[in-house]
Amino acid sequence: MGKAIQRNAGIWIILAALSVFLITGIFAFVRYLDREAAKENRVEYDEVVEKIPEEEPEESEFVMEAKAQAPAEPVLSKEEEMAQRIDGIIAGMTDEEKAAQLFFVTPEQLTRVGAAVEAGETTRRMLNEYPVGGIIYSARNMKDPAQAKKLLSDTQAIMRERSGFPVFMGIDEEGGRVVRIADNAAFGVSNPGSSKSLAESGASAYGAGSYIGGYLKRFGFNLDFAPVADVLTDPSNTVIGERSYGSDAAKVSQMAGDFARGLGDAGIISVYKHFPGHGGVTADTHTGVAVSQKTLEELTADELVPFADAAAAGADMIMVSFVAYPKVTSENTPAALSHLITTGILRNRLGYDGVVITDALNMGAVTGTYTSGDAAILALQAGCDMLLMPGDFDAAYSAVLEGIRTGTLTKERIEESLQRILKLKLEKTEE
């Protein structure tokens, strides 16, 4: 009996242990299934979340109001963008580059060759050293259309690579007896005739300017030293003579303006010359001193009329002569070297703020009295922006560079000129 009871108790203990083991296993299996289901649900959840785009938090009314009241980003006008670009160019220029930009020279003054007909390594080397503001070409540089185009194109490419902006490429092509291309049969262009012939025949000065400008543009020029705006008040004057549109100041002004407009419409910068007037003297400033005894009142009535109108019309460039006006200045200083004439009358009285260039500084009216260095300094101090063909380019350049470094030529005076030069280049020569 006792043994039976013990046997039964053992069986129950074994059954109880098996039950506990079985129940524990079942619970473990259920937990495993729950974990696997949770994992699967989590993956599906993550995939759904990834597909839902994030939404920007809504801005409060305060934030939205503040944004609405905030000043808009300033939009610069073309003029302001241009001013910023010019300021940046000047800020990055060395003293040497600033000095060079004030000069308008012949290719021979750069290359030191007899007649420059191509732009090769010598031109590149010299322009890298002296990145001048302008180059003036003559008949000896022009052989035929293909050669001329290549000469000018290569030179312009060198200068753009060197400085990042164009160089003035100019020529004297007035029509009549002052032409450098039209009298060369190889170019196949006609001479439209002198200013006098246009005025007397009633032909269009605009047409003449447009025609000349058209072929100059094709060959690669961007500037013409024309029109002649001198009023011929002394009929015995042969230096100007038929280059003038006549003795009627109003007619001269109109025809010079028409010629300049024709050039401009063809893409060529015009240069009115020779302020304040070269038509009232018989002496030739190419060979020596020329003196006018006219008063300011007399000049205002005649000679200044075309230049006053040019200034009012925003002329590209005005050339100042070397005629002396002692009854205006109380001295015999050539006009381009006179502060009273260049700044006092042209800038202040006539209100002209474009580029002012000297007549050729290698002329007798200058070289007979002044060194190249002194003439360059005086012209810039007088208010001129560019120095045309100094007698000795090296001496003139060295003097200007020294003047910039020592303050003889103030930073304000030089940068004033650079502003005008670069503005004209960027507005009228960039394509």
- By annotation, the residues acting in catalysis are 286, 359
Measured distance CA(249)–CA(306) in Å, rounded: 7
Report which DSSP code applies to 164. Answer: S
Candidates 366, 358, 269, 267; CA nearest to 314 is: 269
> 84 to each of 78, 93, 144, 205, 425, how far by Cα in Å?
10, 15, 41, 37, 15
Measured distance CA(280)–CA(49) in Å, rounded: 92
Cα 144–Cα 145–Cα 149 angle in degrees, nearest 5? 120
Residue that is written with structure tokens 């003559």 in the block: 138
Measured distance CA(134)–CA(159) in Å, rounded: 10
The identity of residue 264, as a single letter, is: G
Q: Which helix or strand (DSSP H or E) is residue 51 part of? A: helix 2-51
Report which DSSP code applies to 133. Answer: S
The identity of residue 357, as a single letter, is: I
Candidates 254, 305, 255; CA nearest to 280 is: 305
In sequence order, what DSSP letters do the residues of 67-98 get, joined into one string? HHHSPPPPPPPHHHHHHHHHHHHHHT--HHHH
Candidates 410, 417, 416, 408; CA nearest to 387 is: 417
Cis peptide before 278 (omega within 30 of 0): no
